[in-house]
A and B are shown apart, each in its own frame.
Chain A
Amino acid sequence: MAVEVLEPFLKGDTGRNTRGLLRLIILCTIAAAAVASRLFSVILDPWFNFRATKYLVQNGFYSFWDWFDDREASHPVAQLVYEPRKPAEEPKRTRTWHPLGRVTGGTLYPGLMVTSGIIYHVLRFLSMPVDIRNICVLLAPGFSGLTAFASYLITSEMTTSPSAGLLAAIFMGITPGYISRSVAGSYDNEAIAIFLLVFTFFLWIKSVKNGSAMWGALTALFYGYMVSAWGGYVFITNLLPLHTFVLICMGRYSPRLYVSYSTWFALGTLASMQVPFVGFLPIRSSDHMSALGVFGLLQLVAFVEFIRQQVPNKQFQTLLRGLIFVVFVVSMGVLVLLTVSGVIAPWSGRFYSLWDTGYAKIHIPIIASVSEHQPTAWPAFFFDLNLMIWLFPAGVYMCFQQLKDEHVFVVIYAVLASYFAGVMVRLMLTLTPVVCIAAALAISSILDTYLVAENPIPKETQANGQATSDSIKSAADVIKDSLRSTRNPVLGIYSYVSKASVVGAVTTYLLLFVLHCTWVTSNAYSSPSVVLASKLPDGSQHIIDDYREAYYWLRQNTPDKAKIMSWWDYGYQIGGMADRPTLVDNNTWNNTHIATVGKAMSSREEVSYPILRQHDVDYVLVVFGGLLGYSGDDINKFLWMVRISEGIWPDEINERNYFTARGEYRVDDEATPTMRNSLMYKMSYYNYNALFPAGQAQDRVRGSKLPAEGPQLSTLEEAFTSENWIIRIYKVKDLDNVGRDHGSAVAFDKGNKKKKTAKRRGARVLRVE
């Protein structure tokens, strides 16, 4: 029999080695699967990070730190491997946030760039010259393999079942919720941050279990790395104290907890303060105060515990809890006082929007305008997590059953992350690891129970054994036994039919999960935002590449210093792919500047033109999806521009004016005059009706028929329109040669000067410069 042949390999010392080897091979396979499933299509996306990495590699770490992005490569540029050898290239002057500039080194999380920079130099040291671009493209898949490994480690801490960790690893490796932010080429902070998140949690659990300062220090080290990589580090900053606080409240204070938390807090806070962007936030901002508070509390508890050991008292426990409560209330009071008096910065806006989903829309439209910051729609959970979403509660329930320190952590993590994921789409990413862990716990306990070929044999000795999840006892034994650990009725499975059916069902589910993941990944998450892929009737793939077409046109055919104005969503792409200065970009540090762009877009030409002139704008870029039915275009984002600029100029811009009397947002004949005269509307629909027979112009996104006569532009002229009209670029006209305003100049050219000028007299004349 095969079982007998395999016997020596699966039992005893040799068996352990064999199993270890098998586990290693399985983990490597999982990592390979994780990497491979992210390679459906490769397009480098957040170009800013790539540009920053290139700058770091070329100019070294210190000048990266001091990088003020007004001119690129003001330092001598080291030739990168395989870069074109074009001679005598002048140093490029690339400015973002024209005319303000941006202190880039101090306003970004450098972890991602430094990581790729280190990999680049290590590979070079090993005499493997790799283009930095390839490193950037493959960084996210590479780290997803590591994430799978990290979730194996953390899950193995939760249970003794050997399969749970492996299941968690493969879940983590292929779940769409994580793939969405880590496909090849998606070179964003999240690419490495999720690995750091999971690994920091693993180290934390390890250190709480062992009470070891070394593990605590390692936690702090990786926490510091996480801080340098992603703004989401605040999640860790609050989760670990919460875990500690709950453990204390459960009466589970132990020196282990004291050692690990104190080590983490002291070292971790110091480490996080090394990142310039974070700086003194850990001791000034309210987001970080819970960590400080719990640290203080822990000292008190330790002190009280010490006293208790010296002074034994039966009533001490009650006293202790009272004391904790009082101290907590007092410290909260002090915290509130400090916040009100301004010593500690109030909670950041993004944080408020976590608790009140309507908050951002009213107070900080710029945050609410990002689609990732919208509340999650419920199908998204199933879409991203599939079967794990219903295994998740089961896994959390199993944690409640055991409820050791590490299980408390998972429970807290699960509760918090579920809430946050419900509030913001983006935070689905933080929920994914805990869902994978919990689902793996659930599935592995099912498999461990049902996948045993032999029938359970009731044994007297087993009843006294530890309550491992796969130990099988007869009901009679359990009733006799009064030990708490074995009080749960454990039932054995005798029938092969039920074994086969359950195992079969689970296997089917798992296979379906793999199918779903592959489908979602290849269809939804592998087409980066710059490329739209579609299928032709004959099944061949058709790629709509308008963004890059237009960006490349800008790059090749406009002056090097031409300033491009667009909505901030496209700032990084223009800065990277078109290599031209922009007014605003995805680093939305200056709300007023963004509002200025919003005002220029949403006002009449006469108002916008001076704004364009004052900001040296040469070209204006808009995204228009009307021809193709591409819904992510600027007309659909337009209301956010209006809202953001209304926040700064409430008496000039009024959101109500863009809606019809019945409160509809329309672009057709019934659109309001404010809407139809806005620069955005004119730029989107200029010349568009020439594509259609007279009066038949159709907007395929809004599904409405456009006015028979298209809008007229007088201060801008069309410079380029991409193949499917997604990108339209306009050139800002220079001042008129004979000093007329542009409206009358255009009217004069058309020959109807008389009527128009007479009417224009009365209207407000805006003098240009």
Chain B
Amino acid sequence: MRSLTLFAAYLSSIFTTAVADSNLSTPLSSHQILPDNFKPPEVFKNANLLRNINLEKGYVRETVNVVIENIDANEQDTYYIPFKAEAIGNVGGLEVKDKKDPEKPAFRSEVVEYDPYSPTQFYRVTLPVPLAPSAQQTLAISYHVLSALAPLPAAINQQDKQYLHYTFSTYWPSAYLTEKQKTKVKFSTADVPGFTAEPLREGKTFTYGPFEKTPAGVEQEASVRYESTRPVIHATLLERDIEISQWGGNLATEERYWLTNKGAHLSGHFSRVEWARTQHYNPPTSALRMLTLPLQVGSLNPYFTDDIGNVSTSRFRSNIREANLELKPRYPLFGGWNYSFKVGWDASLGGFLRKLKNGDGYVLRVPFLEGPKMSEGISYEKVDLRVILPEGAT
């Protein structure tokens, strides 16, 4: 048998990614253990900082554009981003890029661990090119904060508007002195009945600041309560299997979701009369009614089942430009309700696998996530991806 070498061999073992790594007790091997009394050296200052908090989806997305300046005498290449210990487990997808050159791959960034009981934990960013003394560089830092939104009130009636509550610091928590900073918060509607810390209101956007000369580690708490009558979809677990069959020339994907709606619970009980009555004019609701999965063009044979069999309420629209799989759960998913299901589909292997020019190996290129594309967004607590190679692959 010809041996198969896969370039993406690191995918072959079952591994768990930390989209939101909630179990810091089992550190990845790349974690650096730092001494207990660690404090980032004051070698940088943030010359100018603009922070955008996007609250349009069911999770928080923050983008920070910061001009950093080396104030040390030597070249520096290590930049620390602090988070609160209770929050760092909910931070996911942290990515640091050069703002001037966004085409370049993201900088190396990782969680460093020292004292697990310390109230502050750090992400460490390593600049590819050390920054010369008093030189400046613009970083684009972006990350998600999951499980930070809470419905307030926590229980509403079936047709009521849903309000979410978010608490944050108007200053970006930085390990360095910040000369000048500004925080913008963006909502999906202009209905924001509750807020603190006197922002400047412009329609759907709030602006805090600008603030001058904020020292390292200083925070000013602010909170907003805003309307978001949309489901807060959260996948407690996603298991994703990608099975390669070179015999059949087939790439079979199967995803198993455990969804929950983290929105406001129903204060009474579910009323079918009311639900049926409002279905005609399709009002905004905090219940999840439908999921849309944009599959790769050319996907075939989709199926949608759950623990007790086929779910008949799905529709697959496939043509040469798109392949959309529309799934309707068996029942509308109100706040606090769960739904677990399984979807799968086939695709021709040709589009994903290519042979290496030298040697016997193959390269597989598949997306890490192909989840439902929802305007309200979907957050994953844990994703378990498994690539099943053909029998006898090495």
Q: Which of A94-102, A309-317, A718-726 contacts B (4 or more CB under 8 A)?
A: A718-726
- Give the contact-size bracket for chain B: 20 to 34
Query: Is B272 in contact with A725, judged by CB distance below 8 angstroms?
Result: yes
Q: Given A549-B330, A719-B270, A84–B339 Cβ distance below 8 Å?
A: no
Q: Given A86-B258, A548-B309, A553–B272 Cβ distance below 8 Å?
A: no
Query: Is A577 in contact with B269, judged by CB distance below 8 angstroms?
Result: no
Query: Is B270 in contact with A84, judged by CB distance below 8 angstroms?
Result: no
Interface residues in B271-312 (C-beta closer than 8 Å to A) = 271-273, 276, 306-312
State the CA gap A636–B9 with chains docked (Å).
62
The yes or no answer to B256 lying at the interface (CB within 8 A) is yes
- When C-beta atoms are compared, the residue in chain B nearest to A185 turns out to be B309
Chain B residues, CB < 8 A from A717: 268-269
- When C-beta atoms are compared, the residue in chain B nearest to A573 turns out to be B308
State the CA gap A731–B307 with chains docked (Å).
24
The yes or no answer to A380 lying at the interface (CB within 8 A) is no
- When C-beta atoms are compared, the residue in chain A nearest to B342 turns out to be A84
Query: Is A718 in contact with B271, judged by CB distance below 8 angstroms?
Result: yes
Q: Given A552-B330, A687-B271, A718-B269, A545–B312 Cβ distance below 8 Å?
A: yes
State the CA gap A691–B308 with chains docked (Å).
30
Chain A residues, CB < 8 A from B72: none
Lowest 8 CB-CB distances: which A-B pairs, in order? A721-B272, A543-B312, A577-B308, A549-B330, A556-B338, A690-B273, A552-B330, A557-B337
The yes or no answer to B110 lying at the interface (CB within 8 A) is no
The yes or no answer to B340 lying at the interface (CB within 8 A) is yes
Q: Given A556-B337, A691-B276, A551–B308 Cβ distance below 8 Å?
A: yes
- When C-beta atoms are compared, the residue in chain B nearest to A546 turns out to be B330
CB-defined A-B contacts under 8 Å, sample of 13: A84-B256, A84-B340, A84-B342, A85-B239, A86-B258, A543-B312, A551-B308, A553-B330, A556-B338, A557-B338, A577-B307, A691-B273, A725-B272
The yes or no answer to A637 lying at the interface (CB within 8 A) is no
Chain A residues, CB < 8 A from B326: none
Interface residues in A58-108 (C-beta closer than 8 Å to B) = 84-86
| A106 nearest CB across to chain B (Å) | 28
State the CA gap A719–B269 with chains docked (Å).
5
Chain B residues, CB < 8 A from A531: 312
Interface residues in A716-766 (C-beta closer than 8 Å to B) = 717-723, 725, 731
| B275 nearest CB across to chain A (Å) | 9
- When C-beta atoms are compared, the residue in chain B nearest to A133 turns out to be B309
Chain B residues, CB < 8 A from A731: 269
The yes or no answer to B384 lying at the interface (CB within 8 A) is yes
Interface residues in A547-566 (C-beta closer than 8 Å to B) = 548-549, 551-553, 555-557
The yes or no answer to A44 lying at the interface (CB within 8 A) is yes
Of the residues B268, B272, B339, contact of A556 by C-beta under 8 Å: B339
Chain A residues, CB < 8 A from B336: 557
Interface residues in A526-551 (C-beta closer than 8 Å to B) = 531, 543, 545, 548-549, 551
Interface residues in A612-649 (C-beta closer than 8 Å to B) = none
State the CA gap A553–B333 with chains docked (Å).
10
The yes or no answer to A213 lying at the interface (CB within 8 A) is no
The yes or no answer to B331 lying at the interface (CB within 8 A) is yes
| A54 nearest CB across to chain B (Å) | 12
Chain A residues, CB < 8 A from B269: 717-720, 731
Query: Is A721 in contact with B270, judged by CB distance below 8 angstroms?
Result: yes
* Residue of B308, B311, B339 ringed by the most chain A CB atoms within 10 A: B308
A-contact 0/1 string along B328-368, CB 8 Å cutoff: 00110000111110100000000000000000000000000
State the CA gap A171–B276 with chains docked (Å).
48
The yes or no answer to A387 lying at the interface (CB within 8 A) is no
The yes or no answer to A292 lying at the interface (CB within 8 A) is no
Of the residues A553, A577, A690, contact of B331 by C-beta under 8 Å: A553
B-contact 0/1 string along A46-58, CB 8 Å cutoff: 0000000000000
State the CA gap A577–B311 with chains docked (Å).
13
The yes or no answer to B237 lying at the interface (CB within 8 A) is yes
Query: Is A555 in contact with B307, judged by CB distance below 8 angstroms?
Result: yes
Chain A interface main SS type: mixed
- When C-beta atoms are compared, the residue in chain A nearest to B386 turns out to be A85
Chain A residues, CB < 8 A from B337: 553, 556-557
Chain A residues, CB < 8 A from B276: 691
Query: Is B384 in contact with A85, judged by CB distance below 8 angstroms?
Result: yes
State the CA gap A85–B382 with chains docked (Å).
13
The yes or no answer to A271 lying at the interface (CB within 8 A) is no
State the CA gap A421–B313 with chains docked (Å).
40
Interface residues in B222-267 (C-beta closer than 8 Å to A) = 237, 239, 256, 258
B-contact 0/1 string along A8-52, CB 8 Å cutoff: 000000000000000000000000000000000001100000000
Chain B residues, CB < 8 A from A687: 271, 273
| A698 nearest CB across to chain B (Å) | 15
Chain B residues, CB < 8 A from A44: 309
Known pairs A86-B237, A552-B307. 13 more at Cβ < 8 A? A44-B309, A85-B239, A543-B312, A545-B311, A545-B312, A548-B330, A549-B330, A555-B308, A557-B337, A557-B338, A719-B270, A721-B271, A723-B272
| B336 nearest CB across to chain A (Å) | 8
State the CA gap A731–B270 with chains docked (Å).
11
Chain B residues, CB < 8 A from A43: 309-310
- When C-beta atoms are compared, the residue in chain A nearest to B384 turns out to be A85
Chain A residues, CB < 8 A from B309: 43-44, 548
- When C-beta atoms are compared, the residue in chain B nearest to A547 turns out to be B308
State the CA gap A721–B270 with chains docked (Å).
8
Chain A residues, CB < 8 A from B310: 43
State the CA gap A717–B266 with chains docked (Å).
14
Chain A residues, CB < 8 A from B256: 84
| B176 nearest CB across to chain A (Å) | 40
Query: Is B330 in contact with A545, judged by CB distance below 8 angstroms?
Result: yes
Query: Is A720 in contact with B258, judged by CB distance below 8 angstroms?
Result: no
Chain A residues, CB < 8 A from B258: 86
- When C-beta atoms are compared, the residue in chain B nearest to A721 turns out to be B272
| B145 nearest CB across to chain A (Å) | 25
State the CA gap A555–B339 with chains docked (Å).
9
Chain B residues, CB < 8 A from A556: 337-340
State the CA gap A691–B330 with chains docked (Å).
21
State the CA gap A553–B332 with chains docked (Å).
10
| B387 nearest CB across to chain A (Å) | 15
Chain B residues, CB < 8 A from A548: 308-309, 330
